[in-house]
């Protein structure tokens, strides 16, 4: 039990540290948060027209619109601008709770990976590393990549994360979990 706990904590910290490196130090995800000099006018327009925090996809028909209108609407909108907007009425610059929640998620996912690798009867270093990368690849393919198919955008940063952070965790786990 102590070996699995150590494996989980260190792997969770590796995941957490990589996320800092990826987002802050290397800015791998910079293309996802682009700057526009029109941000003041855009935020003013959003604030005047949106009443609730949330994610909005525009344009779209009002809920409950008849099916006949949907086809006409899609034909009218094809080739015109569209946007996905995550709107919040107030910016919160406090990062403490976000960091705590991020670390907890990393510890939980590390625990799940340790549990999964522990079920492999003849676990060796190579299997631990490749298994960890496979978990990262599955995570990448089923969330960021699928979202990019429907909503566009670059997912290269997430692909790098999937390979790097899960590979690093796999190297640690392959070394630690195969020790006698």
pLDDT digits (tens, 9 = 90+) for 68-92: 898 899 899 999 999 999 999 999 8
Q: Where does the pLDDT of residue 93 fall: very low under 50, low under 70, confident under 90, or very high at 90 and above?
A: confident
Tokens 């990826």 -> residue: 22
CA distances from 16 to 103, 116, 164, 166 (A): 6, 20, 12, 11
User: Residue 133: which domain range?
Assistant: 2-49+94-177
Whether residues 45 and 69 fall in one domain: no
Tally the domains of the chain.
2
Q: Do 146 and 79 belong together in one domain?
A: no
Rounded to whole angstroms, how far apart are CA atoms 103 and 97? 10
Same domain, yes or no: 74 and 105: no
Contact 16, 167 (CB under 8 A): no
Predicted TM-score (pTM) of the model is 0.84
pLDDT score of 124 more than 80: yes
């Amino acid at each position: 039990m102590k070996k699995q706990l150590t494996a989980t904590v260190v792997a969770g910290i590796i995941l957490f540290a990589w996320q800092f490196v990826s987002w802050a130090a290397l800015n791998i995800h910079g293309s996802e948060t682009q700057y526009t000099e029109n941000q003041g006018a855009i935020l003013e327009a959003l604030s005047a027209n949106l009443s609730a925090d949330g994610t909005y996809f525009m344009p779209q028909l009002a809920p409950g619109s008849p099916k006949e209108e949907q086809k006409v609407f899609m034909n009218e909108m094809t080739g015109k601008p569209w946007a996905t907007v995550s709107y919040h009425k107030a910016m919160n610059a406090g990062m403490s709770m976000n960091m705590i929640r991020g670390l907890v998620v990393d510890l939980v996912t590390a625990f799940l990976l340790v549990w999964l690798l522990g079920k492999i009867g003849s676990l060796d270093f190579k299997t631990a590393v490749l298994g960890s990368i496979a978990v990262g690849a599955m995570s990448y393919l089923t969330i960021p990549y699928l979202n990019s198919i429907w909503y566009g955008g670059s997912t290269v940063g997430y692909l790098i994360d999937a390979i790097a952070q899960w590979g690093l965790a796999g190297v640690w786990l392959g070394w630690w979990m195969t020790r006698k």
